[in-house]
Amino acid sequence: MSDSAKLIEALKPFCEKLRSVVENGNEIAVITHLDADGITSGSIVASALRRMGARYSVRTISDMNPSVIERMKADNRDFYVITDLGGGWASHLRKSLGDKWVIIDHHQIPEEEILTDDDGQILNAWKFGIDGGRHVPAGGMAYMVASTLDRKNRDLSYIAVVSAVADRQDQGDKKSFIGLNTEILKTAQSLGLVSVDLDIMLTGRETRPLHEALAYTSCPYIDGLTWNREACYTLLKNAGIRLKDNGRWRVLAEFSQEEKSAVLDAIARFVATSNKTSTSVLDDLIGYVYTLAGEDKRSQLRDAREFSTMLNACGRIGKAGVGIAICMGDRNAMLSAGEEIVGEYRTTLRNYISTIFSEKWRLVDDGKNAFVNGDGLLAEDMLGAVSSLLSGSPSLSGRLLFVRTLTKDGTYRFSSRKCLGCDSKANLGLIMRHHAEAFKGAGGGHSAAAGCRIPSTALEDFLASLRAATSDPKFATAT
């Protein structure tokens, strides 16, 4: 039986359990992660429940921990659906909540958790031999549940596409999808919900004036253009590119193929005169873009990557409810709020990155591992966003990155990433889980992106163990 066939087989009893809970009139609490994949997966489940006439609520959290489980127990809801969270916590959940919960997730989990899931409460990609780090996010797993509950829910496939780009699972050639994400994308395309084109990949291709979109595209990094709006404007203007139409700035999505070729030629000529940027960046600028056909042109929701940025911003700024409302169809007040949140989010991120690089003591870089001290600077809910942005910085190319901050409850939160060009075989998910647990903390994630929480008293010993673990073959990804 193929991996996808195993998943489909497991979906039947899993969905029957959910259907039974709904039909019995139980009150269901959807508990999900506050990042874009958490918001999309929680929203897909909530949309499916709403269509079934269920009594439900949705709550986002930054991570699963004992206090969250205690609160769930105190809330005493009839049933809990946990999405994009919960790996490694099954025994705690059983102890506190009995059988009143299920998990829909894609993070790598301990083998013992798979073997002891006798009642099929855990619907995790890895359980079926599917790589949850590259082939399907939590949003995709939630979509599989929703479409099994009712084929009409296939119209939620476009939200699963947003979750895949949000979780950086566009890891095929030219930013294409692989694995189960490909099948979900095909459904979205067949329903006319998503179109896929090979195009110039610029940040804000649907919303920003062309010169700003080029300037704000940091991956790939083009020395002299990235973060330099004036230089980008001058380059494009001198190349004869028409940047305005009837006094209004044009966005990349409005340009013809011929005009886009002229844009690429202008960038190529600029790169050819630079001794700091490789000509290979031109290949990195071309990739697949995912356009959501049902969204308005020039909307921040029309490009799947921009949509995911808005959701991430909502979660990280503490307004996850806005993101959930947008995913569930609100295109009025909540969309306006989301647009404002994106502006605030970008400003906050820019200030964080600027401070990290200007206050030299915050960054310790040995050429292989880079450690960032965000104490007193980084809000814990922004940790993942900061580490993701830093991982694309040319100055940290090839490193394993570990960003930390001291939280309000006195624990340390870490977020780790493999930076651009990193060829390390280290599995960050395994490293974070194993070493956090060794110091009475908790962690996990994927090979290239993971996180953990540890007691403050363990910091120095934990850092020492991390450094040793990054070159330990025991924590390498199997090839």
Q: Over the stretch 330-389, which tens digit does the pLDDT of each residue have?
A: 999 999 999 999 999 989 998 999 999 999 999 999 999 999 999 999 999 999 999 998
Q: Which residues pair with 198 in a beta bridge?
A: 288
User: Taking all residues of the chain, what is their mean pLDDT, rounded to a whole number?
Assistant: 93
pLDDT at position 118:
85
404 and 374 in contact (C-beta within 8 Å)? Answer: yes
Nearest residue to 314 (alpha-carbon basis) of 379, 219, 382, 391: 382
Cis status, amide bond into 220, omega within 30 of 0: yes
Query: pLDDT digit string (tens) for 168-179?
Result: 999 999 999 999
Cβ proximity of 21 and 78 under 8 Å: yes
What are residue 377's phi and psi, to 5 degrees?
Answer: -120, -55
What one-letter code names the amino acid at 14? F
Closest C-alpha to 396, from 346, 433, 356:
356
Q: Are 392 and 221 in contact (CB under 8 A)?
A: yes
Would the pLDDT of 277 be above 80? no
Query: What would the pLDDT profile of 125-157 be if each residue is shown by its tens digit?
Result: 999 999 999 999 999 999 999 999 999 999 999
How many other CB atoms are found less than 10 A from the CB of residue 202? 22
Q: What is the CATH number of domain 3-192?
A: 3.90.1640.30
What stretches of 136-176 show up as alpha helix (H) in DSSP?
Answer: 138-149, 157-166
Give the 3-state secondary structure of residue 127. Answer: helix
| Measured distance CA(302)–CA(326) in Å, rounded | 13
The DSSP bridge pattern shows strands 79-83 and 449-455 to be: unpaired
Q: Is the pLDDT of residue 275 over 80?
A: no
Answer for the pair 51, 153: CB distance below 8 angstroms, yes or no.
yes
Which whole number is the average pLDDT over 326-330?
A: 95
Where in the chain is CATH 3.90.1640.30? 3-192
Q: 458 by DSSP, 3-state: which?
A: helix
Phi then psi for 369, rounded to 5 degrees?
-120, 140
State residue 227's pLDDT score. Answer: 85
pTM (2 d.p.) = 0.90
Residue ranges in 52-179 assigned as alpha helix (H) = 66-75, 90-97, 111-115, 138-149, 157-166
pLDDT at position 238, please? 95
More confident site: 30 or 223: 30
Residue 478 has pLDDT above 70, yes or no: no
Taking residues 401-411, what's their average pLDDT? 95
Paired tokens of 111: 């083998």
**Chain segment 229-257, per-residue pLDDT in tens:** 999 999 999 999 999 999 999 999 999 99
Neighbours of 397 (CB within 10 A): 13
Q: Are 132 and 106 in contact (CB under 8 A)?
A: yes
Give dist(CA 184, CA 122) in Å, integer: 21
**Is the pLDDT score of 88 beyond 80?**
yes
Q: Which residue spans of the chain are classified as CATH 3.10.310.40?
A: 359-475
- For residues 288 and 354, the answer to whether their CB atoms sit within 8 Å is no
From the options 3.40.50.261, 3.10.310.40, 3.40.50.1370, 3.10.20.30, give the CATH code of 359-475. Answer: 3.10.310.40
Q: What is the residue whose two structure tokens read 């890891």?
A: 171
3-class DSSP state for residue 174?
helix
The answer to whether residue 479 scores a pLDDT higher than 50 is no
Residue 389 in tokens:
């942005």
Q: Which residues fall within 8 angstroms of residue 278, CB to CB, at 6 or more apart?
A: 271
Torsion of CA 114, 118, 120, 122, to 10 degrees: -30
**Residues 107-133: b if buried by 16+ CB within 10 A, e if exposed:** bbbbeebeeebeeebbbbbbbbebbbb
**Residue 172 structure tokens:** 């095929």
* Residues making up the chain, counted from first to last: 479
One-letter amino acid at 228 equals N
**Stretch 58-74: mean pLDDT, rounded?**
93
